[in-house]
């Protein structure tokens, strides 16, 4: 990465970027402080961004604190991801009614102007790439998802201050973004002032950037970016050993750790609600007094008892079975289905678990006695294979 690839803008330039995107027909959205958390929301300019705000995260713990810090992006991810912008929690699929003896069916268009996301994190871009492999995969791609994704303009910001639950470095998804963005920012604040290094990732990103007042980045600024990223890698609150992780979980389906975590788990579904890659949904039909039928799709959770309902019974009737399904799908069988991990290391499931269950801790506990309790173990307790068996 050299000088020709990176330019610099200041606060005025960032505000100008937001304005330029609005003039181009996008609806700018970014991080805002609401209800004690940093969450996605509509923005008009830099004054709406969470300047001076920081988060403190740990298993089952999230708090915001404010300081006189000049930075807008000195925090990790909050409870809500950008998944909802492209895969809404509730969406109408179709509605039908009778007219003159004939059935009329109407599918709603994708409403609103395209969104410009300001301040997505690298792990969130990775999550969108995961969803692309699920909801955007031909020949059965979700048309609404595809349209929203294609229209969205994405401005990512390198993560300088990982949270106490983050482990994106382990998953190869951060703290810097390599691709998947229109523009990428790195926020610097030092003796040379407060400013942003900017890289263009697409032609349309370059066109928007060309309309702003910029200057080339210096060697010192490029070095400052590398130092910032190295500090972020060292500050990760968690780590996850991914070596043969799919096989590890597949051959330990009867490990007693599943009982231990089930004794704590509330099966509340918080982890699936905040996860940026969970994609399960329910379809529901309702009829009003006029006879109009409306089909809606809503987010669903594998922790719901009815989620595995089949032929009169729930296949996964215990909390143990449901937690095991969630974790083994996320880290193991997702590879069989989609050729990638279903986890991007954002740590939301850890922070927003009411009882502080830590996915990285559970995986490490199973690894510590790998194969001793599963169908792939020998009488001596040594693992004999790593067949990837769906739970």
Residue 391's pLDDT is what? 35
- Beta-bridge partner residues of 42: 29
Tokens linked to 376? 């792939």
Query: Using an 8 Å Cβ cutoff, are 307 and 341 in contact?
Result: no
Q: How many CB atoms lie within 10 A of CB 72?
A: 25
Residue 314's pLDDT is what? 75
Sign of CA dihedral 164, 170, 175, 177: negative
For the chain, which residues score pLDDT lower than 50?
1-3, 376-391
pTM of structure? 0.89
Q: Which residues contact 367 (CB under 8 A, 6 or more apart)?
A: 241, 248
Residue 373's pLDDT is what? 62
Query: Using an 8 Å Cβ cutoff, are 325 and 253 in contact?
Result: no
Query: Strand, helix or coil at 146?
Result: helix
Query: Strand, helix or coil at 182?
Result: coil
Residue 308's pLDDT is what? 80
Residue 311's pLDDT is what? 80
Q: Can you tell me which residue has the tokens 């200041």? A: 10
Residue 379's pLDDT is what? 31
- For residue 331, what is the DSSP state? I
Query: Strand, helix or coil at 104?
Result: strand
- CA-based Rg of the chain, rounded to a whole angstrom? 23
Residue 250's pLDDT is what? 93
Distance of CA 297 to the CA centre of its chain: 20
Residue 96 dihedral angles phi and psi, to the nearest 5°: -140, 150
Helix (H) or strand (E) holding 203: helix 203-210
Residue 3's pLDDT is what? 39
Q: How many CB atoms lie within 10 A of CB 332?
A: 24
Sign of CA dihedral 34, 225, 233, 343: positive
């Amino acid at each position: 990465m050299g000088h020709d690839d990176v330019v610099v803008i200041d606060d005025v330039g960032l505000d100008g970027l937001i304005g330029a995107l609005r003039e181009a027909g996008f609806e700018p959205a970014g991080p805002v402080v609401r209800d004690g958390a940093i969450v996605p929301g509509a923005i008009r300019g830099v004054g709406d961004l969470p300047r001076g705000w920081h988060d403190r995260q740990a298993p089952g713990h999230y708090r915001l604190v404010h300081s006189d810090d000049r930075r807008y992006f000195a925090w990790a991810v909050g409870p809500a991801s950008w998944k909802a912008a492209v895969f809404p929690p509730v969406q109408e699929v179709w509605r039908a009614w009778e007219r003159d003896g004939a059935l009329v069916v109407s599918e709603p268009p994708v409403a609103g102007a395209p969104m410009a996301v300001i301040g997505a994190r690298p792990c969130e871009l990775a999550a969108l790439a995961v969803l692309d492999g699920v909801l955007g995969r031909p020949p059965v791609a979700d048309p609404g998802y595809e349209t929203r994704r294609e229209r969205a303009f994405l401005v990512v910001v390198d993560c300088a201050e990982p949270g106490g639950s983050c482990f994106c470095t382990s998953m190869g998804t951060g703290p810097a973004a390599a691709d998947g963005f229109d523009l990428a920012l790195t926020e610097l604040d030092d003796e040379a002032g407060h400013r942003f290094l900017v890289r263009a990732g697409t032609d349309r990103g370059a066109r928007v950037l060309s309309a702003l007042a910029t200057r080339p980045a210096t060697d010192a600024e490029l070095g400052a970016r590398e130092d910032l990223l190295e500090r972020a890698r060292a500050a990760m609150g968690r780590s996850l050993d991914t070596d043969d992780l799919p096989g590890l979980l597949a051959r330990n389906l009867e490990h007693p750790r599943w009982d231990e975590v089930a004794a704590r788990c509330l099966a509340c579904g918080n982890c699936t609600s905040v996860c940026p890659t969970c994609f399960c949904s329910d379809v529901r039909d309702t009829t009003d007094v006029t006879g109009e039928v409306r089909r809606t799709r809503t987010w669903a959770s594998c922790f719901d008892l009815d989620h595995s309902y089949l032929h009169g019974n729930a296949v996964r009737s215990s909390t143990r079975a449901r937690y095991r399904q969630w974790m083994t799908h996320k880290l193991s069988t997702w590879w069989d289905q989609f050729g990638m991990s279903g986890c991007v290391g954002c740590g939301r499931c850890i922070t927003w678990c009411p009882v502080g269950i830590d996915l990285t801790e559970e995986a490490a506990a199973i690894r510590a006695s790998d194969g001793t309790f599963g169908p792939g173990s020998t009488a001596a307790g040594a693992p004999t294979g790593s067949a990837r068996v769906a739970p």
